[in-house]
Every structure is written in C-alpha cells, then in structure tokens.
Amino acid sequence: MAWLSPPAERGNSRRFFRQSVELPIVVNVRNLPAPVYGTLLDISGSGCRFRSLVLVEKDRVVEFEWKRPTRPGIRLRGRIVMRRTPARGGAYEYGVAFDALPKTTIDELEKDIFELQRRTAVARTEERDEKEQAVAQSRVQRRRTFRALAAFAISYRRESALWTPAFANDIGPGGLRLACTELLPIGIELDLKFTLPKDVLDVYPPAGDKVEITPFGPRKVKIPDMRRAFEEMTLRGRVVSSFPPSRGRDVYGMQFLEVDGFTREEIARFTHAAQLARLRTTDDDRKP
C-alpha cells in the first residue's frame, strides 16, 4: 500500500495520512491561564484531532508535546480550525491545523507516524493470522470428532412427560441426530434414553490374555473386554438445529448436556468401533 512508503521517499509530493491514536495530551491554549487536558484521536504531518471536556473557541493557537518513549518529545503548534459537539457525551472534538512547523519537525513526526502505521499493519496481520489459525484448528477438531452413522431406537421426554419412541441415525461424543414425529422448538431440553447397538464391536479383539514378544522376552498382556454389550444410557440433551424431514419424520440435532465420564467413554467406544468398521470396509473394497 502506497501510504506505507517511508516519508523519505515521498519527495516534493508529500501526502499526509492520518494515524488513529488514543493518547492523553496536555494542550496549552493561548490566552487561557490553565492547560486543557484531552485525548489525541488522530494525527498527521499537517494536523491532528483531539477531544476534551473544556470548551475552546475556534482560531485559538494551541500547543502540545508529541511524546515518544525512547526519544525526546516534539513540540507541536497549530490553530483550531474545527469544533464539533458529539450527539452523545459532553466532550468537544477539535480539529487542529499545524502552523509553520519546521521541515525537520514535520519529517520527524512523519517518521513516527509511518512507524505507527507499520506497527498497526503488522498487528492487523497477526490478528488475522490468529483468527485464520483458530478457524483452521476448529475445522480440524470437527473432523477429528467422528460421528457414527448408525440407526438405533431412542426414547425422549419433556419435563414430567411420558417417554416418546423415536430413532437416532448418528451419534458422536457431543450429541446425536434425533428423528421423531413431533415438532420440537429449538432450544428445548429433553431427557434421552437409549442403548447403543453392539454389532460394530466385533472389530475389537476378544478379551483374554495375549503374549507379546519384547526385547526382554515374552510378556503376557491382558486384552480388555471391548466387546461387552452397552448398558442403557439416560442423559440430557438440547435441540440446537433442525434438518429437512426424512421418511415422514422431523429431524433435529441434539447437543448432550452434563455427560458423565463413563457415558462419554462408552459413546467414544461405540464411535471408535464404527470408525474402524468403516475403514475396514473401505480397505476391503479397494482390494483387487
């Protein structure tokens, strides 16, 4: 962008670009006995804008110091050419045109403004990169959260109501998809009761003891019973989305609420088995 070119390269066709700032300043106003305290809003090589609670007449000559952290400050002088009262709040906003500043002062000020612009541009780039990384990480996380496509019976109920039979056609650690014959409002919380099917658990090895050969000799390893049948689960969920009806049923996205650790592990066992079964089927299809 052209406005980021260093001041030394602009030559006679100098253009002044305003840099937004929010800095406290002490303004000395000619013919006023006390200084005026305010906030510098923006600044360029030709003028600035500041806000103050003190009423100052137009055409007054003002002076203030442009402070720099590592170098001596620059004394700037100008004349108030604009005054505006915001619609809300009690502060006045003033536009100042710098008056007869030496070229060396303007050059120094322009260098400072250029550095501020450069830092602002870098900060915007870093902020954009952080947002893009967060979005990418979120997408990766969603991809890693596998949802098992498996239809099974489920029952649900509202507060103090009877259980209503329905179906679920996918499930993951965070929720499931509910298909029912009742219109449900988004945001409603339901009790859910279901037992996950066990037919996908055959992908796990049978429970028992297994001998492994290690550099230190044979070692007996106990294989946990990953094929054990699922117990009935009862948990709380919230309707967070709706989908087009399917086979005469209304379909809703359910988010699990307050899932205990054991139930979460059991759902993960089911979804992991479903994922392994799908991968195994894909590999079998690829074989000649």
The CATH classification number of 2-120 equals 2.40.10.220
The yes-or-no verdict on residue 28 having pLDDT over 60 is yes
Ramachandran class of 180: left when φ > 0, alpha when ψ lies in -120 to 50, beta otherwise: beta
Taking residues 181-197, report their average pLDDT. Answer: 94
The reply to whether the predicted model has a pTM over 0.75 is: no
185 pLDDT tier (thresholds 50, 70, 90): very high
Which segments of the chain are extended strands (E)? 19-29, 36-43, 47-52, 61-66, 74-84, 92-98, 152-157, 164-172, 175-180, 189-194, 208-214, 217-223, 233-246, 249-257
- The pLDDT score that the predictor gives to residue 285 is 53
The yes-or-no verdict on residue 159 having pLDDT over 90 is no
Q: What are 95-138's pLDDT values in tens digits?
A: 999 988 899 999 999 999 888 888 877 777 777 767 777 665 55
CA gap 165, 154 in Å, rounded: 6
| CATH T-level topology, domain 152-286 | Thrombin, subunit H (2.40.10)
Asked if domains 2-120 and 152-286 share a fold, the reply is: yes
- The pLDDT score that the predictor gives to residue 144 is 45
List the domain boundaries for the chain: 2-120, 152-286
Of the two residues 99 and 90, the one the predictor is more confident about is 99
